[in-house]
Amino acid sequence: MVVKIDYRGQCILSYQKAKMLRNWQRINNAYEKSEVILGYVAARTKGGLIVEIFDIECFLPGSHINVKPVRDYDTYVGKTMEVKVVKINQKTKNVVVSHKVLIERDIEEQRREMISKLDKGQVLEGKIKNILPYGAFVDLGGVDALLHITDMSWPHINHPTEIVQLEQELKFVVLGVDKDKNRVQLGLKQLQPHPWNSLDETLKVGSKVKGKVSVLADYGAFIEIIPGVEALLHISEMSWSTDLSSTQDFVQIGDELEAVILTIDRQERKMSLSVKQLTSDPWMNIQEKYPIGSKHTGIVKKFTNFGVFLELEKGISGIAYTNDLSWIKKIKHPSEFCSINDKLEIIILALDTQARRLNLGHKQLTENPWDKYEKIYYVGSIHNGIISNLFDKGASVKFIEDQKIEAFAPLRFLEKKDGTTLKKGEKTNFKVIEFNKEIKKIVISHTSIYRDKRDKNQKKEQRVRNRKFERSTLGDIEGLAKLKEQIEKEKNK
């Protein structure tokens, strides 16, 4: 390599620089072609090793020595190692190499070769490598395979650790192989006889069975008849009642119950059950037992925003809407009126046999007091009341004569004669200025009482003044008439 030209015009050459340039070119070629090259581990350094390749010092990070973490770097010093160039910084002339990528390549080739030899149904030995909530990964000797939780046991389990443990060696059956994606799915329960094979042959549609609730779903519950054999109890087959909004309203995990078989398919290994079919349909003679207008006692079972469900008997429930609970109370939510498991007297308001729906009422057990109130609290009537509560816009007032009913007094009608405002607990007279039977509303005013009196007195005084004025005016007219008459008499003389 020409370094410079001397004063005589002769070239001065450098063998070392030429060699370095050639070696640097070899490094670049190996990087571009992704070639495997042999290097000598010269020393350890911070975070890795120094590897000499073509007399050029390269950096081998600790994370690129092996696929497994390396703790003792010194064991590699003084040895040769195959590596690949993974990064070059042309400005700083820094080279990064990796030995791990070669190991990964070999592992991947071995994995592909091994997977290519796997077939569905093969039984292999493996070791539990990792456990997750949805299953476990199994090491088949270089190939990781998935054992899903649903393929661990015929009976339902909640977590893989109920069946397998880390480092446990077991036999597995190959359920599926995806050679394009290098994925293998294993099964453990498939090595055991299917529990359906040991199911009582005498069981048929209509047979009664006992079981334990193993799984809950929105649409129903799964009942374990024997270990590994589950049957579906649909929510519609739990009760004759129609007010079940969720499975949890009827059963919980671990509950034991008796049911009757609705369907059974041994080939498909499916079974459906019914609990309500154990008893006769209580709705068959519903019109005779619960005619419209009949009175009964129900048990409060559930609240909704619009009413309360009451159970009249097992399998028969009805709803009492909020506005059918009380004639007087203004109820925003039924829990303000009653509590769960309370007994409540009701009357049947409506019955729909096809929809299996009963409309119930509680307030209808008594006469509508607003018919009576309409005659007592008419507009203009005056009543004595006490301020029971104060609000930003006014006050609620209970009448002394009947404290079951409350009226509303707007803020502007709470002003007293002396200009002050009525306070909570004060008793005084109020005048009814609005009565609405439909919405149960009575509006009253205290201010109107003294203002009406004041207006009445003012009108009376005005009438007196008017009469005085009329008398004085008539007197003047009579006087003028007499004067005129006298003047005319004098003229005639």
d(CA 156, CA 136): 16
- CA atoms in the 13 A half-sphere facing the CB of 403: 5
Across 157-177, average pLDDT: 93
**Domain identity same for 41 and 15:** yes
Across 157-166, average pLDDT: 94
**Domain identity same for 300 and 350:** yes
Q: Which residue has the tokens 């405002």?
A: 421
Q: Which tokens sit at 107? A: 């592992």
Phi/psi of residue 182, each to 5°?
Answer: 55, 45
- Domain assignment present for residue 399? The answer is no
- Of 116, 253, 258, 132, nearest to 179 (Cα)? 116
- Domain assignment present for residue 160? The answer is yes
- Domain assignment present for residue 466? The answer is no
Per-residue pLDDT band for 319 (boundaries 50, 70, 90) equals very high
Q: Which residues contact 427 (CB under 8 A, 6 or more apart)?
A: 384, 385, 386, 400
State the total domains in the chain: 4
**Domain identity same for 214 and 148:** no
**pLDDT for 23-39, tens place per residue?**
888 989 988 898 899 99
Contact indicator for 61, 96 with CB cutoff of 8 Å:
yes
**Domain identity same for 134 and 99:** no
Over 70: is that where the pLDDT of 352 sits? Answer: yes
Across 143-151, average pLDDT: 93
pLDDT of 6: 47
Q: Which tokens sit at 382? A: 């005056």
Domain that holds residue 227: 202-278
Q: Of 142, 158, 191, at which residue does a domain stop?
A: 191
Q: Of 104, 136, 156, at which residue does a domain stop?
A: 104
Q: Which tokens sit at 177? A: 């192989």
What does the DSSP 8-state code read for residue 246? S
**Domain identity same for 77 and 130:** no
- Domain assignment present for residue 381? The answer is no
Over 80: is that where the pLDDT of 473 sits? Answer: no
Per-residue pLDDT band for 114 (boundaries 50, 70, 90) equals confident
322 Cα distance to chain centroid: 26
Over 90: is that where the pLDDT of 358 sits? Answer: yes
SS3 at position 310: strand
SS3 at position 338: coil
pLDDT of 3: 46
CATH of the domain at 251: 2.40.50.140
Phi/psi of residue 166, each to 5°?
Answer: -60, 140
Over 80: is that where the pLDDT of 463 sits? Answer: no
- Domain assignment present for residue 374? The answer is no
Q: Of 345, 365, 385, at which residue does a domain stop?
A: 365
Least confident of 286-295, 307-316, 441-450, 473-482: 473-482
Strand partners, 425: none
Contact indicator for 339, 329 with CB cutoff of 8 Å:
no
- Domain assignment present for residue 414? The answer is no
As a whole-number percent, the residues of the chain with pLDDT over 70 amount to 88
- Strand-strand pairing, 343-352 and 316-321: unpaired
pTM of the predicted protein model: 0.54
Per-residue pLDDT band for 461 (boundaries 50, 70, 90) equals low
Q: Which residue has the tokens 């008594």?
A: 366
Per-residue pLDDT band for 459 (boundaries 50, 70, 90) equals low
Per-residue pLDDT band for 17 (boundaries 50, 70, 90) equals confident
- DSSP characters for 44-85? EETTEEEEEETTEEEEEEGGGT-SS----GGGGTT-EEEEEE
Across 323-350, average pLDDT: 92
Q: Which residues contact 34 (CB under 8 A, 6 or more apart)?
A: 84
What does the DSSP 8-state code read for residue 248? G
Across 302-306, average pLDDT: 91
d(CA 448, CA 429): 10
pLDDT of 105: 87
d(CA 172, CA 189): 9
Element (H, E) at 274: strand 270-274
Can you say whether the dihedral through the CA atoms of 287, 291, 295, 300 is positive or negative?
positive
Per-residue pLDDT band for 2 (boundaries 50, 70, 90) equals very low
- Domain assignment present for residue 375? The answer is no
- Domain assignment present for residue 440? The answer is no
- Of 56, 27, 61, nearest to 44 (Cα)? 61
Least confident of 310-314, 416-420, 457-461: 457-461
Q: How many CB atoms lie within 10 A of CB 244?
A: 16
| Mean of the per-residue pLDDT values of the chain | 87
pLDDT of 115: 83
**pLDDT for 227-281, tens place per residue?**
999 999 999 999 887 767 788 888 999 999 999 999 999 999 999 999 999 988 8
Over 70: is that where the pLDDT of 468 sits? Answer: no
**Domain identity same for 81 and 8:** yes
SS3 at position 129: strand
Q: For the purposes of burial, counting CB atoms within 10 Å of the CB of 430, is it exposed (0-12), middle (13-18) or buried (19 or more)?
A: buried
